[in-house]
């Protein structure tokens, strides 16, 4: 099967295995859509609960996109005042409810006088039964509320655990607890063996813990201070953390076609746009020129050398079809000529949200940070920086 046909849900997959996994995810999504009315708030909340509990597990970014879309719908419902408890029910205004209760109470007080004593006793008994039922409903609702709080407590716990894990990883930078840190003897380049440099002392311990570590990304005064991973595909670290555990936050990872040694013209790092702000959840703050100026310096160290980059372009783009004849920033990894490099620069300059005053020339090294942008279908928010030292 041709590479350009390995498309599922607007995403392109590089291997048959990833493509097959994406098809399985798409089949699950089609089944969910056929069984669920996504315009019905009650059904939407039930689906959201199932997704959160892990009833449906996805293997690829196709599933992640669907999960994010459902989350967006739930957030919209919450803004409209529609919760899991009142979904599908008409919501009365507070004043109307109080007025209705007063009227009902008044009627009861007046109606009681119209009955004899035996009937009044029966009415009182019936009212007591109703009161018991009401209390039972209140207790049940309270139990449900406690369970909900417990769920969010567990969610918060795991979120906090993830944050603590990354804090511990940051503490391991520079540690001397070295473990099997020699990468490889070298690689062949035009029949000449080029020795791979040693891993920087600062990252030897981390590299010893996970050989998929390729670098560390940090932007001062932001939450972005994470290890960067790399595998032979761009799927695994969408939902796995540094410790190779399943994690909805995923990890920051370098495009599988990029190389830190010898270094590609453009290093592309991907990360989820998490609602909690983790990973690249705050990257879109660069849409404001003032923020871009205040956070214009990005530190990206590969495991072999340190690097400092200056923000150059900030723009919104999309994941396009293979047949679309447009500039696809995610395919810009190596420039084979000065003409090609300058062409890429012109495309990004034209797309940039504002002028940073920073430019690049052929031979410069670039760093691209990419995350999802929900303002458009298959949208992406991109920050491109030039290496300055």
pLDDT at 180 over 50: no
| Residue 105 forms part of a structural domain | yes
Q: Are residues 86 and 106 in the same domain?
A: no
Q: How many residues does the structure list for the chain?
A: 389
Work out the mean pLDDT of the chain and round it to a whole number.
Answer: 83
pLDDT at 179 over 50: no
| Residue 5 forms part of a structural domain | no
Q: Are residues 84 and 68 in the same domain?
A: yes
What percent of the chain lies above the pLDDT cut of 90?
46
Give the per-residue pLDDT at 80: 86
Q: Are residues 148 and 226 in the same domain?
A: no
Q: Are residues 202 and 146 in the same domain?
A: no
For the stretch 263-273, pLDDT in tens is: 999 999 999 99
Domain endpoint, select from 75, 91, 107: 91
Domain endpoint, select from 69, 91, 113: 91
pTM: 0.59
Give the per-residue pLDDT at 296: 96
Domain range for 135: 94-156
Q: Are residues 292 and 196 in the same domain?
A: yes
pLDDT at 218 over 90: yes
- Identify the residue with better confidence: 7 or 179: 7
Rounded distance, CA 245 to CA 383, Å?
28
- Identify the residue with better confidence: 104 or 47: 47
Closest C-alpha among 249, 255, 248, 165 to residue 210: 165
Q: Are residues 57 and 106 in the same domain?
A: no
| Residue 162 forms part of a structural domain | no
In this structure, the number of other CB atoms found within 10 A of the CB of residue 219 comes to 22
| Residue 304 forms part of a structural domain | yes
Phi/psi for 184 (5° steps) reads -155, 165
CATH of the domain at 382: 2.40.260.10
Q: What mean pLDDT comes out for the span 338-347?
A: 96
Q: Are residues 104 and 215 in the same domain?
A: no
- 351 neighbors 317 (Cβ within 8 angstroms): yes
- 62 neighbors 11 (Cβ within 8 angstroms): yes
- Identify the residue with better confidence: 15 or 251: 251
Q: Are residues 273 and 327 in the same domain?
A: yes
Give the per-residue pLDDT at 140: 80
Q: Are residues 53 and 85 in the same domain?
A: yes
Least confident range of 151-155, 236-240, 281-285, 370-374: 151-155
| Residue 14 forms part of a structural domain | no
3-state secondary structure the chain: CCHHHCEECCEECCCHHHHHHHHHHHHHHHHHHHHCCCCCHHHHHHHHHHHHHCCCCCCCHHHHHHHHHHHHHHHHHHHCCCCCCCCCCCCCCHHHHHHHHHHHHHHHHHHHCCCCHHHHHHHHHHHHHHHHHHHHHHHHHHHHHHHHHHHHHHHHHHHHHHHHHHHHHHHHCCCCCCCCCCCCCCEEECCEEECCCCCCHHHHHHHHHCCCEEEEEECCCCCCEEEEECCCCCCHHHCECCCCCECCCCCEEECCCCCECCECCEEEEECCECCCCCECCCHHHHHCHHHHHHCCEEEEEECCCCCEEEEEEEEEEECCCCCCCCCCHHHCCCCCCHHHHHHHHHHHHHHCCCCCCCCCCCCCCEEEEEEEECCCCCEEEEEEEEECC
Give the per-residue pLDDT at 161: 55
Q: Are residues 34 and 149 in the same domain?
A: no
Count the domains in the chain. 3
Q: Are residues 366 and 239 in the same domain?
A: yes
Q: What mean pLDDT comes out for the span 275-287?
A: 90
| Residue 244 forms part of a structural domain | yes
Q: What mean pLDDT comes out for the span 113-141?
A: 77
Closest C-alpha among 383, 147, 143, 386 to residue 283: 383
Give the per-residue pLDDT at 162: 61
Q: Are residues 50 and 82 in the same domain?
A: yes
| Residue 17 forms part of a structural domain | no
Task: Work out the pLDDT band at 176, boundaries 50, 70, 90.
Answer: low
Maximum Cα interatomic distance, the chain, rounded to a whole number of Å: 109
């Amino acid at each position: 099967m041709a590479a350009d046909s390995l498309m599922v849900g607007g995403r392109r997959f590089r291997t048959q295995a990833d493509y097959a996994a994406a098809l399985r995810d798409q089949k699950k999504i089609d089944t969910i859509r056929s069984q669920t009315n996504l315009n019905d708030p009650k059904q939407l909340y039930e689906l959201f609960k199932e997704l959160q509990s892990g009833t449906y597990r996805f293997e690829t970014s196709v599933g992640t996109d669907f999960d994010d879309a459902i989350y967006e719908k739930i957030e919209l419902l919450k803004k409209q005042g529609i919760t899991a408890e009142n979904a599908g029910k008409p919501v009365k205004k507070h004043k109307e409810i109080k007025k209705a209760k007063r009227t009902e109470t008044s009627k009861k007080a007046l109606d009681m006088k119209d009955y004899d004593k035996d009937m009044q006793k029966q009415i009182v008994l019936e009212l007591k039964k109703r009161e018991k039922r009401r209390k039972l409903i209140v207790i049940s609702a309270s139990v449900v509320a406690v369970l909900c709080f417990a769920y969010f407590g567990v969610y918060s716990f795991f979120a906090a655990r993830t944050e603590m894990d990354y804090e511990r990883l940051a503490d391991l930078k520079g540690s001397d607890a070295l473990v099997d840190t020699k990468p490889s003897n070298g690689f062949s380049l035009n029949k000449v063996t080029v020795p791979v440099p040693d891993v920087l002392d600062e990252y030897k311990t981390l590299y010893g813990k996970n050989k998929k570590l390729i670098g560390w990304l940090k932007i001062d005064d932001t939450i972005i201070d994470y290890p960067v991973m790399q595998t032979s595909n761009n799927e695994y670290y969408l939902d796995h953390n540094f410790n190779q555990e399943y994690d909805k936050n995923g990890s920051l990872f370098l495009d599988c076609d990029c190389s830190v040694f010898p270094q590609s013209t453009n290093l592309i790092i991907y990360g989820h746009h998490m609602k909690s702000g983790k990973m690249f959840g705050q990257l879109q703050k660069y849409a404001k020129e003032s923020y871009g100026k205040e956070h214009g310096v990005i530190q990206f160290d590969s495991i072999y050398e340190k690097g400092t980059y200056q923000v150059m372009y900030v723009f919104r783009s999309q994941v396009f079809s293979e047949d679309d004849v447009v500039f696809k920033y995610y395919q810009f990894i190596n420039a084979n000529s000065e003409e090609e490099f300058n062409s890429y620069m012109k495309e990004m300059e034209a797309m940039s949200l504002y002028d940073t005053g920073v430019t690049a020339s052929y031979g410069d090294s670039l760093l691209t940070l990419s995350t999802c942008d929900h303002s458009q279908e298959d949208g992406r928010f991109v920050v491109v920086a030039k290496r300055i030292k």
